């Protein structure tokens, strides 16, 4: 049976890093298709990604991290890929963890594999404010899914074709984290975490940096509320 796999990399103004990330992946997995979704970059991100050997889809302007990922999911669904791995373009995610993610998703026992920087012997450090935000989301995601979720904000994930199709129609535009995990759980997808290695990036501000975590927690609360309301309405409609 021929199994098709793909890597999706959302990128916004990552000219400094995207070429290196793609070359590192191709150095180890030269035949693996790589899709870079250029989220309206104003630098040479798209050109350098193509030069490094990736397929590039460019959005007309900056739509947000989640929208870029959803574009990738639509592309992958249209091309009928069986399994995907998503990682960031800034070099934060260790490419050596890609085989582990693919291996876990291909065993057919789970639909979503989350690469956690907080499992194993990780020395990953985050700011105090962000650590508090992650802790809150960790409690919410773990409580709802009834399993331990250590890294609800990880962007290093693997998923199968069914989840890809689901995400291509339902995905938040800016910060897709705990709300996506909970929506996936309510859609009866099986979720598992495995340890991966991630690096801190000092050259660029995180989308969770500064005071953004406060807005992020507020936005995530609203998003979770919508998910719970939708779940209740679905149950009510099914009962009727």
Give residue-wise pLDDT tens across range 39-57.
999 999 999 999 999 999 9
CATH numbers and ranges of domains, the chain = 5-239 (3.90.550.10)
Give 170 or 67, the one with higher predicted confidence: 67
Q: Give the largest Cα separation in the chain, rounded.
A: 56
Give 224 or 160, the one with higher predicted confidence: 160
Give the DSSP letter string of 170-231. Answer: S--SS--SHHHHHHHHHTT--EEEEE--B----SS--TT-TTHHHHHHHHHHHHHHHHHHHH
Neighbours of 232 (CB within 10 A): 10
Split at pLDDT 50, 70, 90, the class of 196 is: very high
Q: What is the pLDDT of residue 209?
A: 52
Split at pLDDT 50, 70, 90, the class of 202 is: very low
Give 175 or 177, the one with higher predicted confidence: 177
Lowest mean per-residue pLDDT among 54-58, 167-171, 215-219: 215-219
Question: In 3D, which of 40, 32, 36 has the Cα closest to residue 59?
Answer: 40
Name the phi and psi angles at 94, rounded to 5: -75, 120
Split at pLDDT 50, 70, 90, the class of 210 is: low
Q: Of 13-22, 128-137, 197-206, 230-239, which one has max mean pLDDT? A: 13-22
Both structure tokens of 204: 């660029």
Q: What is the Cα–Cα distance from 79 to 131, expressed in whole angstroms?
A: 38
pLDDT of 7 above 90:
yes
Give 35 or 204, the one with higher predicted confidence: 35
Q: What is the pLDDT of residue 233?
A: 67
Lowest mean per-residue pLDDT among 70-79, 120-129, 172-181: 120-129
Both structure tokens of 12: 């916004």
Q: What is the pLDDT of residue 203?
A: 47
């Amino acid at each position: 049976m021929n199994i098709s796999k793909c890597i999706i990399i959302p990128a916004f103004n990552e000219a400094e890093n995207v070429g290196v990330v793609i070359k590192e992946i191709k150095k180890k997995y030269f035949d693996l298709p790589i899709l870079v979704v250029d989220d309206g970059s104003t630098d040479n991100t798209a050109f350098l990604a193509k030069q490094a050997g990736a397929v590039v889809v460019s959005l007309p302007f900056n739509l947000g991290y989640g929208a870029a990922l959803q574009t990738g999911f639509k592309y992958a669904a249209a091309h009928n890929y069986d399994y995907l791995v998503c990682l960031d373009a800034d070099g934060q995610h260790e490419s050596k963890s890609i085989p582990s993610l693919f291996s876990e998703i291909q065993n057919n026992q789970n639909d979503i594999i989350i690469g956690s920087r907080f499992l194993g012997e990780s020395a990953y450090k985050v700011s105090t404010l962000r650590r508090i935000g992650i802790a809150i989301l960790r409690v919410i995601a773990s409580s709802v899914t009834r399993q331990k979720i250590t890294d609800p904000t990880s962007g290093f994930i693997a998923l199968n074709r069914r989840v890809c199709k689901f995400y291509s129609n339902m995905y938040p535009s800016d910060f897709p984290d705990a709300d996506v995990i909970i929506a996936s759980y309510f859609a009866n997808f099986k979720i598992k975490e495995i340890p991966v290695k991630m690096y801190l990036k000092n050259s660029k501000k995180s989308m969770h940096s500064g005071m953004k975590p406060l807005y992020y927690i507020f936005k995530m609360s609203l998003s979770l509320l919508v998910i719970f309301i939708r779940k209740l309405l679905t149950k009510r409609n099914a009962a009727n």
